[in-house]
A and B are shown apart, each in its own frame.
Chain A
Amino acid sequence: AQTVTQSQPEMSVQEAETVTLSCTYDTSESDYYLFWYKQPPSRQMILVIRQEAYKQQNATENRFSVNFQKAAKSFSLKISDSQLGDAAMYFCAYKPGTASKLTFGTGTRLQVTL
């Protein structure tokens, strides 16, 4: 079974600084997708960034980028120039290429301070 592990229950970053959230996963599949979702207090899960396992290039979306280490089964999220609006729960998620369901980690609560 696939598992996703987020070992940082909480992280804190100062506004304008950079923070990295960690995620590791376990799978025997070769074709899969990895995601980072943001969940603010509104409860709605918002997709931040997505990475296809077959792509060696790390995905980037504006201030958000990932460090995808396939051999190590590691998928960390880097947030640059942190903003107050980035404060939320962040979930790492995995999806096999042939399946529909997402497997989520337990989340990291990110605080952004002035």
Chain B
Amino acid sequence: GAGVSQTPSNKVTEKGKYVELRCDPISGHTALYWYRQSLGQGPEFLIYFQGTGAADDSGLPNDRFFAVRPEGSVSTLKIQRTERGDSAVYLCASSYGQGAEAFFGQGTRLTVV
């Protein structure tokens, strides 16, 4: 596609439920990043993929968060047993490589009620 696509645009879920957020990067981009942006804050790094493997997952806050990129393209961020504190905008970005410019999607706004 022309840009990074994230679905859904908005997601409301109940506390304790499981959610999946999808990111479709720009075709040919090998690097993919997930960030979380809480209200009034800048984005915070969660995880970085180079190809299919997670090269840096140091930003994942706890074991309820997990991300995959099985074929080196689309990535899914999975959150188990959601908590109200997980409410945020989840941004995905992709680039040709680690040092190249990262292009961001429009994010998924997750609201946990």
Contacts and interface: CB of A to CB of B under 8 A. Distances in A.
B51 to A, nearest CB: 13
22 contacts: A42-B106, A43-B89, A43-B107, A44-B107, A45-B91, A45-B104, A91-B42, A93-B42, A99-B98, A100-B48, A100-B50, A100-B55, A100-B98, A101-B48, A101-B56, A102-B33, A102-B43, A104-B42, A104-B43, A104-B44, A106-B42, A107-B41
Contacts of B66: none
A44 B9 CA distance: 12
Interface residues on A, range: 20 to 34
Interface of A: 4, 42-47, 50, 91, 93, 97, 99-107
B106 A44 contact: yes
A65 B89 CA distance: 29
